[in-house]
Homo-oligomer: A and B are copies of this chain.
Amino acid sequence: MKEKFAERMEMGDSKEIDECMAHIMKLTTMKDVISFAGGLPNKEVFPIEEMKQVSKKVLEVYGGLALQYSATEGEKELKEAIANQIMKASGIEADPDCVMVTCGSQQALEFSGRVFLNPGDVVICENPSYVGAITAFKSYKPSFAEVKMDDDGMMMDDLERVLKENPNTKFIYTVPDFQNPTGKTLPLDRRKKMIELADKYDVLILEDNPYGNLRFEGEGLPAIKSFDKNDRVIFLGTFSKIFCPGLRIGWVYADKQALSQYSLVKQSVDLQTNTMAQKEVAMYMKMFDLKANIEKIIDVYRRKRNLMLKAIEENFPKDCNFTKPNGGLFIWVTLPEYMDASKVLEKAMEKKVGFVPGIAFYANGGVRNNFRLNFSNTGDDEILTGIEILGKVLKDYEIN
């Protein structure tokens, strides 16, 4: 069989990432492990009782239409709810006809690669960047140019350097709010500067915003898209982190010309996203208060972040640095340079604690002294126990 596979299935240099992803999936499903690995929301915050009412209501109101094929671009009522309730809150004057519903934002990432990337095109991304996006883009054989980050995300002078050096750039891929994996947030002035640079160097921006609504403190920032005057920004959103990931409802927001390309791809790839799930999300937003649901999630995640930060401060060696995110799901740990997070993981796994080594998040690899901790999907006690164990593993590593 093996000799029948297409050449594109030979993953080559993404083996490290594949292994890492396999690690994440394995850790996520193992039962006796305290896992800080996945990016899973906490299932305790899912509105189960509300969903019972919602699914019944959708079948009552729409009958067979809820179970029938429907438009490739998505259900009208959901596109309207996305545009008017969610995107407007990020400062975007959104047109529902510029929304296309996707199977989670992972599909929107994959489609973005498919719509825009020729082999050899350059994708500019944060250093580190989101592993799922890197993997999705890699199918289309771009090269990656990484931009240095400080505590406030991408550094604009370094972005300009990278843009100058890479005239073949197709788009800048960025997660501006509570970035995966670092938890960092791009400040207002840099958002404006990024648009300026994109205009100057004539490149697109792919703004991936799964976490922006999960802000624990401080004022929310307008999306980069809100400053876009020249249809340069494609905006990706999802209900996975503010509602339920298992329904697989995300979206892409783009000007009509680009959206028609996404729609062609969607038609050929899977026709459309689940009709009933789309209607359920829209019905939930009509019957209940999505904002209140998000507040509930924020309360839980803020508590867990606080617990984890405090435990890290108390248990990790002093030469380990870590981010203090104001939202999202992740804390990013930087070890002294001589340490290898994969080796730390080996030791930690012996003691039944898991995380994701940072190597997977570097589009061009090479950096080994970081790891990502997820705080949303672990019990409060497990956070304390797990971080204590990790602290010991790190201290032992330093001695040896």
List residues of chain A with CB under 8 Å of any chain B CB.
1-2, 4-9, 11, 18, 21, 25, 28-29, 38, 40-41, 43-44, 46, 48, 51-52, 55-56, 59-60, 63-72, 102-104, 106-107, 110, 114-118, 121, 132, 135-136, 139-140, 170, 204, 231, 240, 244-248, 255, 257-258, 261, 264, 267-277
Contact = CB atoms under 8 A, between A and B. Distances in A.
Contact of A264 (B1, B18, B268): B18
Nearest to A243: B67
Contact of A107 (B1, B56, B70, B270): B270
Contact of A106 (B258, B270, B275): B270
B115 A5 contact: yes
Contact of A55 (B44, B55, B103): B55
Contacts of A271: 104, 106, 132, 248
A4 B55 contact: no
A5 B261 contact: yes
A110 B360 CA distance: 27
16 contacts: A1-B231, A1-B258, A4-B116, A4-B258, A5-B261, A6-B115, A28-B69, A38-B69, A44-B64, A69-B240, A106-B271, A247-B275, A247-B276, A248-B270, A248-B273, A274-B274
Among the interface residues A28, A114, A118, A270, which one has the most CB atoms of the partner chain B within 10 A?
A: A270
A48 B25 contact: no
Contacts of A69: 28, 38, 40, 240, 245-246
A5 B260 CA distance: 11
A102 to B, nearest CB: 8
Given A107-B269, A261-B5, A277-B274, A46 B29 contact: no
Contact of A269 (B136, B246, B267): B136
Contacts of A102: 270
Copies of this chain = 2
Listed from nearest, the 7 A-B pairs whose CB atoms lie closest are A43-B64, A246-B275, A67-B244, A55-B55, A103-B270, A107-B270, A67-B246
Contacts of A67: 43, 46, 48, 51, 244-247
Given A64-B44, A64-B48, A261-B5, A248 B268 contact: no
Given A4-B204, A135-B267, A246-B275, 8 more contacts: A21-B267, A106-B268, A106-B269, A106-B270, A136-B269, A248-B270, A274-B277, A277-B277
A65 B52 contact: no
Among the interface residues A4, A52, A72, A102, which one has the most CB atoms of the partner chain B within 10 A?
A: A4
Given A44-B64, A68-B245, A273-B248, A264 B9 contact: yes
Contacts of A115: 5-6, 9
A11 B257 CA distance: 15
A258 to B, nearest CB: 6
A245 B272 CA distance: 10
Contact of A4 (B44, B170, B268, B270): B170
A246 B51 CA distance: 18
B6 A118 contact: yes
A220 B43 CA distance: 44
Contacts of A7: 118
Given A1-B231, A116-B4, A270-B107, A246 B66 contact: yes
A205 to B, nearest CB: 12
Contacts of A246: 66-70, 274-276
Given A246-B70, A247-B276, A274-B248, A269 B43 contact: no
Given A1-B257, A29-B71, A271-B104, A64 B40 contact: no
Nearest to A21: B267
Contacts of A247: 67, 274-276
